[in-house]
């Protein structure tokens, strides 16, 4: 019988300065090994899950979305989503873990950089100007495990790696406390959604720990499952993982032996290798496939289609009619009564173009989408007036508070409602690049606002639409060559003068 195994505990590079392989490396290796499904469980976040899911889907490997959470006692738990509701609960739990506890002290620290690379270094470490509030005592998100009770639907709980509370108690020989912890997990999640996690990475103590965990699982009548705690796709990549750990702790390889993983066995294994390691517990391998099959109820690459909410309008109207009214009113100003003859002559082309765009927008039910953007610009204009005053040059010149960029400037609708400052008719811009009949996703409109109004605008948007309907999108800084050379050199313990010379050559 052919061995079957699905890895359910895996870290990508989005486990920052811990995961040593990119999603494409891991998925490529999984494809070579014949995996049918693969989970991603990065530390305390699902930042890389969409990229992972799309790449896995393209490789015909089913992507399982999960997370390894750090709890308030510093222990770890592995959580997997088996449905869309489960995914929503994962997101809520992660959000709660990142919240600042009530009354927690906040320190404000100021950092400066000598050059561009230094600024990037501060950004990568999360302590530069992009994150002015830095809490040394609370760097790692921490989840109150009691929140699992109210966010358990659609979530499968694995009891965690060696840093899991259950493993720690079993290692310490405190079986009564271990039973109590497992009983609590069962009470919160349900017996069928709790699995004791077994990890065998050829580390001293792994086998006796697994045996004790299996006995406990049998006693408590819960399942147990094998996982690999994968941090890189092939064994040789452990060298990079060692360097990343040293960088993370701002130390050198020579001084980080206690911080680094003890060997190179935290790689993505074949089913045959896993079968050899867990030969004494074959049902732990079968459980990986069973759990993976349960998780096939949710595919992040396909199952999060966004439906734009209804835009509120007065009785007797609708978003399409309102958008048409707004656009034609502005068209009269910008074309029909324009002071420039060459612009007035474009009126018929503008009307034809506007009717075409409004038809496509109506087909895709996106009128409310554009009206919402218009509301944001009106809100920004009010704030700009408050901040700058009526006598400022920008106010007197009637300059817009923000402007769009990218393909949205090709839309006459965007031009007429103020999202773009470029006349697409005059400049003969092609609309189809922005929006067309065969729409596969909601169009992307980027608006840039001046710094002096941005913070107040964000606050006002939260006030208007509510915290449950507004979110900030993060961007991740990545290493440039010179910064990478500097950090790796420091981890290797190279003398700073030599390191500076090498960095300048890179």
- As a whole number of angstroms, the distance between CA 424 and CA 459 comes to 33
Taking alpha carbons only, the member of 213, 110, 123 closest to residue 159 is 213
What does the pLDDT look like over 236-280, one tens digit per residue? 999 999 999 999 999 999 999 999 999 999 999 999 999 999 999
* Residue entry with tokens 């870290």: 11
What's the pLDDT score for residue 392?
75
Hey, where are the domains in the chain? 23-100+148-297, 320-469
Q: How far is CA 39 from the centre of its chain?
A: 15
Residue 106: closest CA among 138, 58, 63, 152: 138
**Phi-psi group of 257: left, alpha or beta (phi > 0 → left; psi -120 to 50 → alpha; rest → beta):** alpha
* Separation of alpha carbons 436 and 276, rounded Å: 54
Give the pLDDT confidence of 273-307 residue by residue, as tens digits: 999 999 999 999 999 999 999 999 999 999 987 77
List residues bridging with 447 in a β-sheet: 404
pLDDT band of residue 133 (cuts 50, 70, 90) is very low
The whole-angstrom separation of Cα 5 and Cα 25 is 19
Average pLDDT over residues 329-358: 91
Note the pLDDT of residue 110: 42
Work out the percent of the chain whose per-residue pLDDT is above 70. 90
Q: Which of 27, 20, 91, 66 is nearest to 291 (CA)?
A: 66
Residue 207 has pLDDT above 90, yes or no: yes
- CA–CA separation, 198 and 191 (whole Å): 17
CATH number for 23-100+148-297 (one of 3.20.20.140, 3.40.50.970, 3.10.580.10, 1.20.1110.10): it is 3.20.20.140
Report the Cα 61 to chain-centroid distance in Å: 20
For 42, other C-beta atoms within 10 Å of its C-beta total: 22
DSSP strands (E only) in 102-179: 155-158
**How far is residue 330's CA from residue 60's CA, in Å, rounded to a whole number?**
49
pLDDT tier, 501 (very low <50, low <70, confident <90, very high otherwise) = confident
C-alpha span between 212 and 169 (Å, rounded): 11
């Amino acid at each position: 019988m052919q061995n079957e195994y699905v890895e359910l505990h895996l870290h990508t590079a989005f486990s920052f300065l811990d995961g040593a392989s990119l999603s494409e490396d891991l998925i490529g290796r999984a494809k070579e090994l014949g995996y049918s499904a693969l989970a991603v469980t990065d530390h305390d976040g699902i930042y890389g899950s969409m990229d992972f899911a799309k790449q896995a889907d393209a490789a015909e490997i089913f992507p399982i979305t999960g997370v390894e959470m750090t709890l308030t006692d510093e222990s770890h738990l592995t959580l997997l989503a088996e449905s869309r509701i489960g995914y929503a609960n994962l997101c809520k739990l992660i959000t709660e873990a990142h919240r600042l506890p009530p009354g927690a002290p906040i320190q404000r620290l100021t950092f400066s950089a000598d050059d561009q690379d230094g600024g990037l270094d501060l950004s990568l470490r999360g302590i530069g100007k992009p994150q002015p509030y830095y809490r040394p005592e609370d760097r790692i998100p921490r989840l109150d495990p009691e929140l699992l009770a109210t966010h358990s639907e659609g979530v499968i709980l694995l009891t965690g790696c060696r840093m899991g509370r259950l493993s720690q108690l079993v290692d310490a020989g405190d079986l009564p406390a271990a039973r109590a912890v497992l009983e609590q997990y069962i009470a919160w999640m349900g017996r069928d959604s709790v699995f004791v996690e077994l990890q065998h990475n050829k580390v001293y103590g792994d086998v006796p720990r697994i045996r004790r965990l299996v006995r406990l699982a049998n006693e408590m009548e819960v399942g147990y499952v094998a996982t690999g705690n994968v941090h890189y796709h092939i064994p040789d990549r452990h060298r990079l993982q060692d360097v990343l750990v040293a960088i993370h702790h701002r130390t050198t390889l020579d001084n980080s032996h206690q911080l680094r993983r003890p060997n190179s066995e935290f790689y993505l294994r074949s089913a045959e290798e896993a079968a050899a390691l867990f030969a004494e517990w074959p049902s732990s391998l079968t459980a990986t496939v069973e759990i993976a099959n349960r998780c096939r109820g949710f595919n992040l690459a396909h199952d999060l289609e966004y439906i734009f909410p209804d835009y509120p309008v007065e009785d007797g109207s609708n978003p399409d009619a309102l958008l048409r009214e707004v656009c034609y009113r502005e068209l009269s100003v910008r074309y029909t009564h324009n002071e420039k003859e060459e612009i007035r002559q474009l009126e018929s082309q503008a009307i034809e173009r506007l009717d075409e765009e409004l038809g496509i927008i109506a087909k895709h039910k996106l009128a409310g989408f554009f009206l919402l953007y218009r509301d944001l610009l009106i809100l920004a204009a009010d704030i700009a007036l408050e901040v700058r005053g009526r006598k400022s040059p920008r106010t007197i010149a009637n300059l817009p508070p923000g402007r769009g960029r990218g393909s949205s400037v090709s839309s006459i609708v965007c031009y007429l409602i103020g999202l773009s400052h470029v006349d697409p008719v005059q400049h003969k811009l092609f609309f189809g690049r922005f929006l067309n009949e065969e729409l596969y996703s909601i169009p992307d409109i980027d608006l840039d606002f001046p710094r002096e109004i941005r913070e107040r605008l964000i606050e006002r948007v939260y006030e208007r639409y509510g915290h449950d309907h507004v979110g900030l999108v993060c961007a991740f800084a990545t290493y440039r060559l010179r910064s990478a050379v500097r950090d790796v050199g420091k981890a290797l313990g190279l003398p700073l003068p030599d390191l500076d010379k090498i960095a300048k050559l890179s």
